[in-house]
Every structure is written in C-alpha cells, then in structure tokens.
Amino acid sequence: MNATIVKTDDELKQIVELSHENHRMNVPEIEKRKEGFISWEYSYELLKQMHKLHPSIIAKDDDKLAGYALVALKEAKAFHKDLATMINNLEAIIYNNKKLSDYRYYVMGQVCVDKDYRGKGVFDMLYQHHKTVFKNMFDFVVTEISVSNYRSIRAHEKVGFKTIYSYKDAMDEWNVVLWDWQ
C-alpha cells in the first residue's frame, strides 16, 4: 500500500463512492460513534474541479482505494459553496496573534479511510504524504471536525493537529483544527 496523488478518473470515482458510503446520513448512529463519519458528500464534478487546482492525496492497495485526503485550495471556494462558507469563517480566526488570512494555508477538504483499512496506519500515511507534498508551499493545513466525531478528533490530534477555535452553526458544533508545519 502506498500514498500518492490522484491520477485517474477512476480514482476520483472511487473517492465519490467512499464518500457516499461514509456520509453522516448513511452511517448508523452506533457506527458513527465508534468509527466516525464525514459531513460533506462530494460529487464527481466537484472533485474534478478541485483536482484541476491540485490533485488530492490517496492511499491505494493495488487498484483499491484504501483512503483519501482531499486538497481544498482557497481558490476552490469559487465553485465549492460549502468550502466558501468555511474559508470565509476561517479567515478571521486569530492564530499566534495573526489572522489566518495572513498565513499560507489550505483546507483539508475531507479525509476518509475505507472500513477494511482502518487501524492500519492509512490515516497517518495520508497526512504524512500531505506534509511531504505541501510543507514548502504552505504554513499549515486546517480543517473542521464535528465535535461528535470522536474518532476523527483523536486521529487528528495523534497526527499533530491542535484545536484553535470552536463554534456552532445550523448543522453541527465544530472544532477548527490546524497542523502547523512552521
């Protein structure tokens, strides 16, 4: 198994399928508490547009997608409505006495590991590959995690993410987490 960037349309389609399977609306409550969930469902068309800005990172086991970690550059807010809302909220957050807008960062659009590969280091592999690819271009990566998604919060903390802000909106309560590479 290895981490790499998305190279094919088939890989994008596998991301769409894995996203759908693990969306909060498609995961039973007991499984959400134990295994986690994702909050945004991505269409093939949206992923294709994001991919044009920068391909995302995936983990593959031969031809099977083991997991993905989506690259959401700020420029994607032009066509990704939910991301635009998120980035507009993030820009004013203060981190180390500066607004996030004063830093070079990108958003982790979503990270998801296939059920068959959980607990096998895929999550860490995806993020370590992100750091390798992006640490010279960005100061950090930032994302939001539902406070009820305990597995995701713990996994992000293990990688090195720190909660820098929390808020509640109509959908959920969120922790804004950041992995600083400076």
Give the pLDDT confidence of 107-147 residue by residue, as tens digits: 998 999 999 999 999 999 999 999 999 999 999 999 999 99
Check residue 102 and report its DSSP letter: G
With a cut of 80, say whether residue 174 has pLDDT above it: yes
Give the count of alpha carbons within 13 A of 134, CB side only. Answer: 30
What pLDDT is recorded for position 23? 72
The answer to whether residues 174 and 144 touch, using CB atoms and an 8 Å cutoff, is yes
- For 16-52, b/e burial (b = at least 16 CB within 10 A) is bebbeebbbeebeeeebeebbbbbbebeeebbeebbe
- Note the pLDDT of residue 47: 94
Domain boundaries, the chain: 2-180
Is residue 47 within 8 A of residue 68, CB to CB? The reply is: no
Report, at the CATH architecture level, how domain 2-180 is classified: 3-Layer(aba) Sandwich (3.40)
Model pLDDT, residue 181: 94
pLDDT in tens, 58-96: 999 999 999 999 999 999 999 999 889 889 999 999 999
